[in-house]
Amino acid sequence: MNSDHGNEEISGHDKQLNEVVKQKRHRNRRKRTYIFLGSAAAVLLAGYLIMGYILPGPMEKLYSPKIQKYIKAVDYDRNFMLAAQNNLLQELHVSDTSGAYELAVGGVIADEEKAVILYSVSGPDLKEHQDSTDAIELIIEEDKPHSIGYGHNSPNKNETITYQSIQLNMEYGEELPKELKLAMNINEESLEVTFPIDHSRFAGMREYIDMNKSFVVDNQTVRIHDITLTPLQTMIRMETNTENTKNMNGFSGLRLADDQGNSWGEISNGTNGSGEISSGTYIAYMDSIYFNKPDSLSIIVDGAFISDKDQEFVINTATSEMVKAPDQRLDIVEIDQDQDQGYVYLQLEFTDSAESHNKPPSRVYRLINDHNQFADASGKKYKITGSPQSGFRIGDERTTLLYTVTIPNEDYKQPLTFEINEYPKKINQKIDIPVF
């Protein structure tokens, strides 16, 4: 899975979303926001972060004074911090200098399938050149499926060094490469750092629990195959029954819990799921329990998001009219016809008043997938251009999901009919599945 194509899920405001759509290569980032790029069936971006999480422990005794400022770039993430506390931070301190600028990799926190790279950029006028520092690239020479999350802190004015992090998530069952590369251009200076990943530091640190248990929500069956434990995450592999009459789009309150009141939820700072649970195998990525070792463990679900199959919406792009929608939650924001580029941009919004809490959503539903076709009134089928963009907007005491779909600018026979991938309603039904 190459990091330069595929699905792009971005949180932001209308203006930011518009810029992302019209400038395909632009990656809009806000403070400690992760954007994940990948071409897996689904790479889900959690809506909010675990903030201010700092573990007690002698970090100063485990690692050199030089690495301490790098660690602060991920001190809000309990999985990374707990792994570092258990000696899984590999100090590297390799760098490249060009002109007045330096790119340095302080270290990596890694297990078999996941890593966070801790790096710094130093030099004059970093605030002025933030677009350049944000455009840093993690390069993987090996052809292995993966996704990359770029997380950035905005440098302050007059700041001459900034500490940042990048997440690398390999597809389930794929090992991390043994060598990676960071590259960037800033103020006409090129910087590149190649660095190793020492696999001996986490060798054998992977545990497997066979489950083979099923549960039913709203008459739809889900089978849990197994659970894999690693230092940085817990992976629950599950699959929906092919005979289900509806699409299972996600779960409400999915978590692991012990009998002492402790719980571990879906990863909220990075990739928290891969695959399509509505049509095959899905892997939920949860907070790691590897170093906690609970005496008992259960999988808890408060409910599910389920949608009817074969839904569609119909739009007249000439008059900007929503001709047909599953319900009133879906509406048109804007239809922009770009004659020069030869595209039509459809901007849609989804607002569920029952679920709007004026905070980032835990999940942005995939209204349309890359492979979806649409048809005009004559029945002629067309292909959506590129990857549909998705995000969210917060304001007016509600959270609105935003979607932008790009189609060719053709002489369509109106209106146009689009197949819907996910359009869920929440089903409240608590499930408790014992693990051990």
The more confidently predicted of residues 365 and 264 is 264
Is residue 362 very low, low, confident or very high in pLDDT (cuts 50, 70, 90)?
low
Compute the average pLDDT of residues 79-97: 96
Strand order across the beta sheet in which 330-338 lies: 89-98, 101-110, 114-122, 161-170, 146-151, 34-38, 7-9, 389-395, 398-408, 343-350, 330-338
Q: Is the pLDDT of residue 45 over 80?
A: no
Contact 254/265 with Cβ under 8 angstroms? yes
Average pLDDT over residues 374-397: 88
Length of the chain: 436
Report the range of poorest mean pLDDT among 51-65, 264-278, 283-297, 392-406. 51-65
Confidence of residue 149 (pLDDT cuts 50, 70, 90): confident
Q: What is the mean pLDDT of residues 347-365?
A: 77
Question: Does the structure show a pLDDT above 60 at 35?
Answer: no
Band of pLDDT at residue 274, cut at 50, 70 and 90 = confident
The mean pLDDT of 391-413, rounded to a whole number, is 88
pLDDT exceeds 90 at position 359 = no
Name, in order, each residue with C-beta under 8 angstroms of 121's C-beta and a sequence gap of 6 or more.
101, 102, 103, 104, 133, 136, 161, 162, 164, 184, 186
Q: Can you say how many angstroms the Cα of residue 57 is from the centroid of all Cα atoms in its chain?
A: 29
More confident residue, 18 or 369: 369
Q: What pLDDT sits at residue 230?
A: 97
pLDDT computed for residue 395 by the predictor: 78
**Is 90 exceeded by the pLDDT of residue 222?**
yes
d(CA 147, CA 2): 8
Tell me what the mean pLDDT of segment 104-110 comes to.
98
Which residue in 242, 208, 206, 207 sits closest to 223, CA to CA? Answer: 242
Return the structure tokens found at 165: 């992090």
Residue 384's pLDDT band (cuts 50, 70, 90): very high
- Pull the structure tokens for residue 205: 């640190």
* C-alpha R_g of the chain: 22
| Alpha-carbon separation of residue 253 from 17, 26, 53, 333 (angstroms) | 28, 33, 21, 30
Confidence of residue 43 (pLDDT cuts 50, 70, 90): very low
pLDDT value of position 339 = 80
How far separated are the first and last CA of the chain, in Å rounded? 35
Q: Give Cα separations from 13 to 16, 96, 432 (angstroms).
A: 5, 36, 37
Range 108-115 average pLDDT: 97
Confidence grade of residue 200 (pLDDT, cut at 50, 70, 90): very high
Q: What is the pLDDT of residue 36?
A: 39
Pull the structure tokens for residue 45.
């971006």
Does residue 22 have a pLDDT over 50?
no
- Average pLDDT of the segment spanning 364-378: 84
* In the predicted structure, residue 170 carries a pLDDT above the cut 80: yes
**Is residue 370 over pLDDT 70?**
no
Mean pLDDT score, 253-271: 89
**Which pLDDT belongs to residue 24?**
33
Q: Whole-prediction pTM value?
A: 0.78
Q: Tell me the three state secondary structure of residue 374.
A: strand
Question: Residues 293-305: what's their mean pLDDT?
Answer: 94
Phi-psi region of 99 (alpha: psi -120 to 50; beta: other; left: phi over 0): left
Residue type, 2: N
Beta pairing partners, 214: 223
**Which ranges of 72-151 does DSSP label H, i.e. alpha helix?**
78-85, 130-134
pLDDT surpasses 60 at 332: yes
Give the pair of three-digit tokens for residue 130: 């933030």
CA distances from 191 to 121, 142, 185, 315, 326 (A): 10, 21, 6, 48, 51
209 to each of 79, 176, 256, 422, how far by Cα in Å? 20, 22, 14, 31
Lowest mean pLDDT, pick from 54-63, 158-167, 219-228, 300-309: 54-63
Q: Quick one: CA torsion of 38, 44, 49, 53, rounded to 10 degrees? A: -80
The tally of CA atoms less than 13 A away on the side-chain side of residue 158 is 0
pLDDT of residue 213 exceeding 50, the answer is yes
DSSP state of 127: T
Q: Which pLDDT score, from 0 to 100, does residue 399 have?
A: 84
Residues with Cβ within 8 Å of 263's Cβ and at least 6 positions away in sequence, in order, are 255, 256, 257, 300
171 pLDDT band (50/70/90 cuts)?
very high
Other CB atoms within a 10 A radius of the CB of residue 208 amount to: 9
- Dist. CA 172–CA 195, nearest whole Å: 23
- Residue among 24, 47, 48, 49 nearest 37 (CA): 24
Report pLDDT for 51. Answer: 37
Choice between 385 and 39, residue whose per-residue pLDDT is larger: 385
Between 10 and 338, the higher pLDDT residue? 338
Q: How far apart are CA 177 and CA 159, in angstroms?
A: 33
Q: How confident is the model at residue 155 (pLDDT cuts 50, 70, 90)?
A: confident
- Give residue 55's pLDDT: 43
Work out the mean pLDDT of the chain and round it to a whole number: 84
Distance (Å, whole) CA 185 – CA 235 = 36
Distance of CA 241 to the CA centre of its chain: 25
